[in-house]
Structure 1
Amino acid sequence: MRRLAHVLVLAATSLAIPASVVAAPAAEPLRLGVGLFQPDKDKNDATYRPLADYLARALERPVQLRTVDSWEGLAKSLANGETDIALMGPWGYVLANHHAGAQAVATILYDGKPEYFAIMVTHPESGIESIADLEGRTFAFGDKGSTSGYLIPLHHLMTLGITPESYFGKVLHTAHQAIETQVTQRVLDAGADYNRNRNAMIAQGLIRAEDSKIFWTSAPLPNDAVALRKGLADDADFVARLRAALVGVGPALAQEPALLPPHYTGFVESDNGFYKPIRDAGLATGKLQARP
């Protein structure tokens, strides 16, 4: 009888435990990859951590942030499943979409606009006024996953019948920030960049506007994409919740201005079609192969 009473007490105690006390399985963290928009990884991580924390709250799921220091590397990490969500350059996104089915869900806004420009810069004493003056000079592209630093200027040069390796005296590939710095220091004659980066470096005091000049500007290009790896992009409910969270960043900036760097004003919904101009340039340069 004593043993039976003990069993009955245990059973009653178990039944009295509220369901809310039983721990639910922890949600698997989302891995957010961000391109190197700032001069170094530490600053980049600090800049985009508020956005990662905001998404974690909005999606009710942990978000792990990491900076990937090349656009090509970020595209590969999204394609091979190491990254779930990426804030990445347009060409990197197109590569990840073409090779692994990654999908754009939103585009970042800069001063309220979803577009930006590729540029070519030189120092004021170089004597360079146009691309015709670049023959035999040193020229730097960004890494091969960069839209404005590589794909778009390469495409424009090809339309002019120019092969960089034979036209320029020396061709380099380096980071956007290094291109701007080395041009102002007269280490490089010229290089490719994008207007947002040059403006930001001037605003931060990293370079002086009078130490460089723009001599070529592209047509408008779609801004950086928020893209999902294919498996996650197939989850329509998750896509809808992520888009709603991203669109909510703009209004939230009034209370949390650190959510995005200066001049970035939120996100707008977009999809793969918005990045068609980048895809067309990739096909035209042979960097993408047309699908059968």
Structure 2
Amino acid sequence: MKMLMMSAAAALAMTGGALAQESYSLAITDVEGLEQLQTEWGPFKAALEEATGNAFEFFPVNSRTAAVEALRAERVDFVITGPAEYVVINKMTQAEPLVALGRPDYFCAIIVMADSGITVPADLKGKKIAFDDIGSTSGHLCPMQLLADYGVDPLQDIEAIHTSRNIAHEALKRGDVAAMGANHNSWIDRARSQDESVPPGAFRIIARSGDLPNDLLVVGAHVGAAAADAIRTAILENKAAVIGSIVSAGGENAKYEGMEILAVEDVQYDRVRDMYATIGQSQFAEFVGE
């Protein structure tokens, strides 16, 4: 009888373990195509499976709106996205933040030429400023909020144009724009440091934001709270391996060098909601620029 009870208990434990293993789908909003997903995020998927004991499959999306529709249809369970995207995703699907992907020195800046005579944001009133893609957290929303923080209405006091960071950099040097708003580190790494035509001192930063809310892993509202909590705990307990998997991919993931994985709450993204309100999009009901 004792042996029978032990066998039954073992069988029950095995059954419980099998039931505990689940299969989930994972999307990344700024990566298109399965091949690119495998290249840039394949190591992360493997680390996530190792940490949680669950299976994850990539779900390619070709737009942020496609990610929203997939969450609504319960075709995708987890999404890696940026702060600006999250605010809209949360409003449209009630998806919640699971963990934050903490990028070091993630902030925006207003940049001018050092010999321009422009020393404070108020000097930019009536002038043309270049920004990154519409809807970019660090290249659009943040610089516009930064101007507003210094008393410059980004909708009324300036002429805004949107272009790539490298084109904006060249336009600034030529004097086609008076300033550019950009992700500070991305500008230094991808434009200023590669420009041998002028020294770094030819540029002046007249305003910087504080560190921005982080990129994050979002969980769909349809995923059970217990399952989400278990996955969050597993990621945080194995974050060294998970971080290594993200950074090791290189390429676009180089921006995560020196990152930390952090617990996160929705309230931390109220700053981004304020940015949307500053550009006249206080409903968070659509992706600007899409």
Instruction: Please give the alpha-carbon distance, in whole angstroms, between the structure 2 residues aligned to 1:147 and 1:64.
Output: 25
| 2:188 is aligned with 1:196 | no
Which residue number in structure 1 is paired with residue 94 of structure 2?
101
Which residue number in structure 1 is paired with residue 219 of structure 2?
228
What TM-score results when the alignment is normalised by the length of structure 1? Answer: 0.67
Which residue number in structure 1 is paired with residue 58 of structure 2?
64
Instruction: Please give the alpha-carbon distance, in whole angstroms, between the structure 1 residues aligned to 2:58 and 2:85.
Output: 20
What TM-score results when the alignment is normalised by the length of structure 2? Answer: 0.68
Per-residue CA distance 1:242-276 (angstroms, 9 max, x = gap): 45225523256569961663533331111212222
Instruction: Please give the alpha-carbon distance, in whole angstroms, between the structure 2 residues aligned to 1:90 and 1:213.
Output: 27
Counterpart selection for 2:107 from 108, 117, 123: 117
Which residue number in structure 1 is paired with residue 83 of structure 2?
90
The letter of the residue matching 1:142 is D
| 2:62 is aligned with 1:81 | no
Q: State, as a whole percentage, how many aligned pairs show the same letter.
A: 20
Per-residue CA distance 1:146-203 (angstroms, 9 max, x = gap): 22222233234345554445533x4222345654565467654322122332344369
For the 8 Å contact 1:118–1:153, the answer to whether it is kept is yes
Which residue number in structure 1 is paired with residue 273 of structure 2?
279
Q: Say if 1:30 and 1:183 are closer, same or farther in 2 by CA, change over 3 A.
A: farther
5+ residue gaps, structure 1:
1-18
Q: CA deviation at 1:217?
A: 0.6
Q: CA deviation at 1:124?
A: 3.5
For the 8 Å contact 1:35–1:88, the answer to whether it is kept is yes
**Larger RCO (alpha carbons 8 Å, 6+ apart):** 2
Instruction: Please give the alpha-carbon distance, in whole angstroms, between the structure 2 residues aligned to 1:177 and 1:78.
Output: 28
Number of matched residues? 254
Counterpart selection for 1:30 from 25, 29, 36: 25
For the residue of structure 2 that corresponds to 1:167, the secondary structure is coil
Larger radius of gyration: 1
The letter of the residue matching 1:267 is I
Per-residue CA distance 1:264-289 (angstroms, 9 max, x = gap): 33311112122222224434554223
5+ residue gaps, structure 2:
1-13, 286-290
